[in-house]
């Protein structure tokens, strides 16, 4: 009897162990699913906006797009049209640089533009001639009466520097005279090599220019490659 009862008890215990082992993962999975479900619900439900945020959005004034789109272009157009038409009522000598640049391309080197650059060149010529007269007066000062040799050397160095400056201005005076001659002949403002317009911007920066920027760059490149 004891042997048979032991044999029957052993399978029962084995069955109980297997049932417990299979029940444990199921309970763990059930607990995990129960713990995850509140998180999913919490994520799915979004917090509603507060009353202050909703009122702030309603309080923001809406700017009509028509007003924004109409204001800026009209003011810019008025300024541009005023500059572009200034040459019609002013003489060439009265034009400003902005008004000159705003002129239509079809009016390039018309009478008023030529008058503008003629006035500028003549003013520059008068300024250089005035500086040359001042240099002559400075050079007439007697340096031998200065007893200190160091002071006398300083004065002589200043005179040499002033002479070099006036020599550059003398060359510029020659270019100015040539530019005025080109204005009278109608060739001013056009490149000597290509015949293309030099451009108002370049002429404003350098009124004595005879070459366009491209032609000037080509000449400088040739000078670097082959020398003078």
Residue 47 covered by a domain: no
If one counts the domains in the chain, the total is 1
The CATH number for 138's domain is 1.20.120.910
Per-residue CA distances from 77 to 82, 89, 102, 132 (Å): 8, 19, 12, 46
Residue 171 covered by a domain: yes
Structural domain span for residue 141:
84-226
Residue 69 covered by a domain: no
Residue 43 covered by a domain: no
Q: What pLDDT score does 160 carry?
A: 80
Query: Looking at residues 195-208, what average pLDDT do you find?
Result: 95
pLDDT level of residue 136 (50, 70, 90 thresholds): low
Global confidence as pTM: 0.57
Residue 33 covered by a domain: no
Q: In whole numbers, what is the pLDDT of the chain averaged over residues?
A: 72
Q: What pLDDT score does 33 carry?
A: 45
* Span 86-122, pLDDT tens digits: 888 999 889 999 999 999 999 999 999 999 999 999 9
d(CA 181, CA 116): 15
């Amino acid at each position: 009897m004891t042997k048979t009862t032991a044999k029957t008890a052993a399978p029962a215990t084995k069955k109980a162990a297997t049932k417990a082992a299979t029940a444990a993962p199921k309970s763990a999975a059930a607990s995990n699913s129960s713990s995850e479900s509140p998180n999913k619900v919490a994520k799915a439900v979004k917090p509603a906006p507060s009353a202050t945020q909703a009122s702030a959005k309603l309080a923001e004034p809406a700017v009509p797009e028509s007003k924004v789109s109409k204001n800026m272009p009209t003011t810019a157009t008025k300024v541009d049209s005023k500059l572009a038409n200034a040459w019609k009522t002013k003489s060439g000598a009265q034009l400003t640089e902005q008004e000159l640049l705003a002129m239509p391309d079809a009016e390039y080197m018309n009478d008023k533009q030529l008058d503008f650059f003629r006035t500028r060149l003549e003013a520059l010529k008068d300024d250089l001639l005035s500086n040359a007269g001042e240099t002559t007066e400075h050079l007439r000062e007697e340096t031998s009466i200065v007893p200190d040799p160091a002071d006398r050397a300083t004065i002589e160095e200043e005179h040499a520097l002033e002479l070099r400056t006036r020599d550059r201005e003398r060359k510029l005076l020659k270019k100015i005279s040539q530019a005025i001659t080109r204005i009278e002949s109608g060739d001013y403002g056009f490149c000597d090599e290509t015949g293309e317009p030099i451009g108002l911007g370049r002429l404003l920066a350098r009124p004595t220019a005879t070459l366009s920027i491209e032609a000037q760059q080509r000449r400088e490149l040739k000078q670097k490659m082959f020398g003078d």
